[in-house]
Structure 1
Amino acid sequence: MTAPLISAVLGSYNRRRFLARTVESLRRELSGFAHEIIVVDGGSTDGALRWLTRQRDVLTIIQHNRGTWRGVQLPRRSWGYFMNLGFRCASGRHVLMVSDDCLLVPGGVPAALARFEALEAEGRRIGAMAFYWRDTFRRREYVVGLTFGRHIFVNHGLFQRDALADVGYCDEEHYAFYHADGDLCLRMRERGWEVTDAPDSYVEHFPHATREVRRDNLARAHADWDAYRTRWAHLLENDPFEGGALIKAFDDPHRTALRFPPYDVASLVLRRAASRMRKAFDRGARHHA
């Protein structure tokens, strides 16, 4: 049996409609490579688990992360914990990390693999490569995040599996949900791995998928930021830069974003139109006051 070149790993919870499209996007993009798709599901109740069990090309890990069992509250595990379940199962040389509300713009993975090979041929020790992404329908440009020290970190992109293992994978203890990805990439740099961008690889991210889940995650954002800033405060001693982005303009000829669920796209467009009308009304009211 041929070992996979790429292991795609994503976590998911109650995003049935988006998850199906994300998995199909991965299938299309990885079809030319030996690959595996690994989904870590947090105990979805919206039909996602039933759908996953029917996908014979998807390795599904179920990690119930909410609710009770036999009268006992289940422990809430961190983002790092459930991502590490997938990372440790991965057998590919490269690990592709995306979210369950994302679509890959065609051609991005082959371009990133070619860049990996070219940079390694130059003698560079590449640990990870960030794909450019955007919150679809909210901004035109695509970004790659910069963290302390003006270093690149990976929201969505390709990791070297050996680099993940070398740093002990994600921190499971100090970050509930946010900033564990930045911490992972900074620890790679400490171990001599380079984290760079993939200039021809793009991801569409739908920002309003399962808003109640996002609200739950945002409630823990401040504590995660405090932990992150404490851990990496030394990088701010000579440069107070705390974050930013590399920004790229790109016109997707494939119109990948139109593959998001039509109902959710229409709902988002209507909400944005209503928001613009409220703002215009408020400006008019202030003008006449």
Structure 2
Amino acid sequence: MPVSTRSDPEVQKTAELSILIVSWNCKRMLADCLDSLRDQLSSYRHEIIVVDNASSDGTSEMIRRNYPDVVFIESGANLGFARGNNLALAVTHGKYIFLINPDVVVVSDCFRNMLQYLEEHREVGMMGPQIVGSDGAIQRSCMREPTLWNQLCRALALDRFATRSRTFAGYLMGDFQHDAIREVEILNGCFWLVRREALQQVGPLDDRFWMYGEDLDWCRRFRAAGWKIVFFPEAQTVHYGGGSSKQASLFCYVQMQRADLQYWRKYHGLLSCWCYWALLWFANAWRAGVVAILYFARRSRNCETRLRLKRHLACVRHLYINKYSSDSQ
């Protein structure tokens, strides 16, 4: 049963902004994230809500000792991304809600610029900033709706050979430079700003998605409800990446395939689901074959190649066992 440590309830009730962070075994990154929020939030009435998914690295002690103003919820189990965020969403008060990954550091004026834009554009229900890596390179933070065509291009690796083509690399928006304000179909979930009116209409994340897939689903529901989703490069955050998923990369890779199928089953018919399952199975099977040849021919025998082989074989096995029609929750 979740256990909550609350800050001043009167401060919460008058909060303009609610910041939600779900964490699992990434204490150091979480501390960096929380520290980066202090200057950003000093001029706003706000609440910060951290949900800890049963970390074993001392996260709870660190939060209680160093961040007493944070609303801290201990879930008691690893609930995944969607359920963890939904725990926090249920107790928010802010007019605007930020869902931020713990491996993100917020850069100066990020909140101010995004909030100003949202105030001036009432039709926007969700926004995301420009994401840069620790090396300063711009990271992809938005996608287009998955289709059988763009998933076929992914399966055949055509998007890697025609990286700037909308026709072949359209799913991951290889043709988009991520440097202009633009309405997009999907924002990846490392940093979301959501308007409360939109949240009340759309509802919380679908917690049947344990990890991955919830971004595709939530964005689709926002668009279906008539809200615009905007990529906003005039605000910026640094994403160090993999705060939790790096610790269980093989498991997370399989979960990604599972979530893709789960999303497809939610919105598509039986024939389309079968085709999509076949694309996923084929993509992992032929990649496993290529990596195995490289590995056993000693052309690329290293830890990374071995991990790639394990990932693809695990996905082939998972997809074969569960088939396209199994929910496999």
Tell whether the structures are fold-level matches, with TM greater than 0.5.
Answer: yes
Aligned-partner Cα distance in 2 for 1:146–1:178: 14
Q: Which residue of 1 aligns with 2:76?
A: 64
Question: 1:26 deviation in Å?
Answer: 1.4
Q: Which residue of 2 aligns with 1:180?
A: 214
- Structure 1 residues 169 and 208: CA distance shift in structure 2, 3 A: closer
- Structure 1 residues 231 and 224: CA distance shift in structure 2, 3 A: same
Q: Which residue of 1 aligns with 2:40?
A: 29
Q: Which residue of 1 aligns with 2:306?
A: none
Q: Which residue of 2 aligns with 1:98?
A: 100
- Structure 1 residues 221 and 152: CA distance shift in structure 2, 3 A: closer
Q: Which residue of 1 aligns with 2:130?
A: 132
Q: Aligned-pair RMSD on alpha carbons?
A: 2.3
After TM superposition, the structure 1 stretch with the greater mean CA deviation from structure 2, 55-64 or 153-162, is 153-162
- What residue identity is the alignment partner of 1:148? E
Aligned-partner Cα distance in 2 for 1:14–1:38: 17
Aligned-partner Cα distance in 2 for 1:50–1:214: 26
Select which of 53, 56, 64 maps to 1:53: 64
Question: 1:135 deviation in Å?
Answer: 3.5
Unmatched tracts of structure 1, length 5 or more: 67-76, 238-281, 284-289
- What residue identity is the alignment partner of 2:103? D
Question: 1:204 deviation in Å?
Answer: 0.9
Aligned-partner Cα distance in 2 for 1:181–1:140: 23
Q: Indicate the SS of the match to 1:219.
A: helix
Select which of 194, 207, 214 maps to 2:228: 194
Q: Which residue of 1 aligns with 2:193?
A: 158
- What residue identity is the alignment partner of 1:114? Q
Given that 1:40 and 1:62 are in contact with CA atoms closer than 8 Å, whether structure 2 keeps it comes out as: yes
Q: Which residue of 2 aligns with 1:7?
A: 18
Structure with the higher fraction of residues in helix conformation: 2
Aligned residue pairs: how many?
Answer: 222
Given that 1:80 and 1:172 are in contact with CA atoms closer than 8 Å, whether structure 2 keeps it comes out as: yes
Please tell me whether residue 209 in structure 1 is matched to residue 243 in structure 2. yes
Aligned-partner Cα distance in 1 for 2:83–2:187: 19
Q: How does 1:184-263 map to 2 (within 5 A)?
A: 184-210=218-244, 211-233=246-268
Aligned-partner Cα distance in 1 for 2:144–2:213: 10
- Structure 1 residues 133 and 233: CA distance shift in structure 2, 3 A: farther
- What residue identity is the alignment partner of 1:217? C
Aligned-partner Cα distance in 1 for 2:249–2:50: 19
Question: 1:207 deviation in Å?
Answer: 2.1
Percent pairwise identity: 24
Question: 1:134 deviation in Å?
Answer: 3.1
Question: 1:233 deviation in Å?
Answer: 4.4
Structure with the higher fraction of residues in strand conformation: 1
Q: Which residue of 2 aligns with 1:262?
A: none
Q: Indicate the SS of the match to 2:140.
A: strand
- Alpha-carbon deviations, 1:240-273, whole Å to 9, x = none? xxxxxxxxxxxxxxxxxxxxxxxxxxxxxxxxxx
Aligned-partner Cα distance in 2 for 1:110–1:230: 39
Given that 1:148 and 1:232 are in contact with CA atoms closer than 8 Å, whether structure 2 keeps it comes out as: no
- Structure 1 residues 48 and 78: CA distance shift in structure 2, 3 A: closer
Aligned-partner Cα distance in 2 for 1:159–1:8: 10
TM-score (norm 1): 0.71
Given that 2:24 and 2:53 are in contact with CA atoms closer than 8 Å, whether structure 1 keeps it comes out as: yes
Given that 2:186 and 2:215 are in contact with CA atoms closer than 8 Å, whether structure 1 keeps it comes out as: no
Aligned-partner Cα distance in 2 for 1:94–1:48: 26
Aligned-partner Cα distance in 1 for 2:198–2:250: 32
Q: Indicate the SS of the match to 2:143.
A: strand
